[in-house]
Amino acid sequence: MLPPGVALGTIRRARAELEAADLLRVEYRTDERNGRETTPLYTLMIPVGEGDENERGEGGDTARPEGGQNARPKNLTKEPEQEIGVDEVRSVFDAWVEATGKHPTRTRLDDKRRRTIQKALKDHPVEDVLDAVVGWQHEPFYCGENDRGRAFNDLGLLLRDAEHVERFRDLARQEATKVEPVNPNERRNSDGVVTHRWSMGAGWMTIGGSG
C-alpha cells in the first residue's frame, strides 16, 4: 500500500509506532529444531469503536481522515537508510559464536543480543561488524592474558559503541594484512610453501628430497 521509493527505515519506524499504539503485534520466532531465528509473525490489531464500524459523518459521506482520503502518513518520508535484514544479524551472531568457541545450539540470539547487533549494523557496514566480533582474538589481553585470567569477548563489549567496533575491526584487518618476514634461507613456491632450505656446507636442499 506504500508508494514506491519509501525507505525501509521509514517503514520500520512506522511499524514501531503501530506497535506502541498496540495496533500491530510482532512475535519474534525461532526454529525449535536448531534455535535459529525465523521470520517474525505480524498480527494486525483492528480497533473497534462504538456503533457502526463504518461510522458516517454529516451528509451521509463516509468519514475521511484529516487532509483528505489520500493524505500521506506524516512519517512517510524518503530516506537513504538501508534495511537491517535478519540474515545480517544472524551472520554476525554466528561469527561471534564460532570465534568465541561457544556451543552453537546452546547459545541463544535473545532480544538483548539482537538489539546489540542491530545497533552496530545501523552505524557500520556488515563487513565491519563481522570483523569486530572476531578481531579480539588478535589481542592477548582480550584472549585472557590479563590479571583476571579471563577472556573479554562478550558481544556487548565488542559492539558497545563506535570506538569498540572500530578497534576490534582494525585488529582483525591488521592481522589479515600481516606479511610473514622473508627468511633468506628459504625458498617458497607461489602458494607460500617452503620448497628449498639452505644448509651450511650442503647448499640448497629440496624439502622432502635431496638437493
How far is the C-alpha of 150 from the C-alpha of 113, rounded, in Å?
21
**Contacts for 176 with CB less than 8 Å, ≥ 6 apart:** none
CA dihedral 116→122→125→131, nearest 10 degrees, is -10
**Contacts for 174 with CB less than 8 Å, ≥ 6 apart:** 138
Pick the closest to residue 173 from 125, 206, 102, 211 (CA basis): 125
pLDDT tens sequence across 110-154: 999 999 999 999 999 999 999 999 999 999 999 999 888 999 999
pLDDT tens sequence across 188-200: 776 667 787 777 7
What are the two backbone dihedrals, phi and then psi, of residue 110, each rounded to the nearest 5 degrees?
-85, 180
pTM over 0.85: no
Q: What percent of the chain has pLDDT over 90?
A: 36
Per-residue model confidence (pLDDT) at position 191: 64
The one-letter amino acid code at 191 reads D
3-state DSSP call for residue 189?
coil
Residue 26, strand partner residues = 42
Highest mean pLDDT among 20-34, 64-78, 143-157: 143-157
Burial of 61 (0-12, 13-18, 19+ CB in 10 A): exposed
Per-residue model confidence (pLDDT) at position 77: 47
Indicate if the alpha-carbon torsion angle 87, 90, 92, 95 is positive or negative.
Answer: negative
